[in-house]
Amino acid sequence: MSLIIIVIRQAGSLFNSVDEQLDCLKSKDMDIAQAAVLVNHNKMHEAAELHLAQGRILEAIYVFLEDIGINHQKSSQRATECIIGGLWQKLNFAVSSVHLAGDLEFSKLLELAEKVDKSLLELNLHDELVMFQSIINKDQAALKKLGKQFLLAENIPAALLCLDHYYTPALPFSNLTVYEMADELSLFLDYSQLLISIIGGGYNITDQISLCKLFGLKKLSDSHVVLAAGSYLHQRYSKAISGQNLQMYMTDFMYHFQSHISRRLQEQIEKQNDICKQCSTFTPCLTFAVFQHCHRQSSCHAAHISNTSFTALYYNTRVRIHLQQILIVHCLYKTYSFPKPFKHLKSQERSVFLIHFIESI
């Protein structure tokens, strides 16, 4: 029997009831002792919720999992919710899983996630748990599939987290058919437009718990917000101290948020656009299409497409990918208003795909 249980039982004899003992401990802010009393009286669910309220996620999970009483199913569900919530706190938007390699709490959460019976989970919890495991395993195919599912379910935070990892570090735009390219561009456009909407105020970020979870922040009041230690925005703030949460004025936060999330999107689109400018998918070789032979052979950077492939569907899809890329480049210039550098690039970058678009029709 542990020492703390012995002490609690001895102290319990001084009170007329368990409730009286709990009230006394509560009045003295002895929440750990409160939780121990609850566990001693097999009130596991209440004890776990108390740990959770005080931010002790791992302790809460372990106590939830120990509950084999009438609340077993409810406690099991809460344990899973806590595991996923803990993973969100650690691995939120643009945070690399590599940086969490030495985080013991994160490792424990992943171990617990492996033990969860996914067949008992609601669809959304199931998919979010699989998402974190896919991020750790760098399973790009799973991340793409999940990203689409989250978009359809309108789970915006999970969709953006999923897709941001799908597009990091490699972007999947090389050596694709026009049909594959159209599918990839559609998804990347969704990702870009969602972030633009959030950056531009289309979503009231600090008032939406789900978006706060995505970016690792918490609204304290209308004038203050807290950035979680380790979050992308925390890492990008020069005055932030490693391992400590950072409190900011709302006005300072909004400027910081718009500047760095827009820069993140700029970098993604610029990389994507550079790849697509060199991609043969946008420029089929006309010589090969007509003669089924190209004298330039390996030095030809255009796509060698059989003339039998030039169907109405192919034509329409080729037009579509140019329009999609023009819209993606348009997203790039929207990010420049947070703040407004590099405006001189606008016509130059857009003209590349406008020329290709004119050629395609």
**What is the secondary structure of 189-226 as a DSSP string?**
HHHHHHHHHHHTTSS-GGG-HHHHHHHTEEE-SSSEEE
Residue 163 inside a domain? The answer is: no
> If pLDDT is split at 50, 70 and 90, which confidence band does 348 have?
low
Residue 255 inside a domain? The answer is: yes
- Does residue 234 sit in the same domain as residue 312? yes
* End-of-domain residue from the set 98, 127, 142: 142
Residue 321 inside a domain? The answer is: yes
Q: Which residues contact 278 (CB under 8 A, 6 or more apart)?
A: 301
Q: How many CB atoms lie within 10 A of CB 19?
A: 9
327 pLDDT higher than 90: yes
pTM of the model: 0.85
- Does residue 63 sit in the same domain as residue 192? no
What percent of the chain shows pLDDT beyond 70?
A: 85
Residue 20 inside a domain? The answer is: no
Residue 34 inside a domain? The answer is: no
Q: Which domain holds residue 222?
A: 178-360
Helix (H) or strand (E) holding 247: strand 246-249
- Does residue 190 sit in the same domain as residue 134? no
Residue 149 inside a domain? The answer is: no
Residue 13 inside a domain? The answer is: no
- Does residue 106 sit in the same domain as residue 200? no
- Does residue 183 sit in the same domain as residue 132? no
What's the confidence (pLDDT) of residue 342? 46
- Does residue 289 sit in the same domain as residue 348? yes
- Does residue 189 sit in the same domain as residue 267? yes
- Does residue 217 sit in the same domain as residue 128? no
Stronger pLDDT, 338 or 16, i.e. the higher one: 338
The number of folded domains in the chain is 2
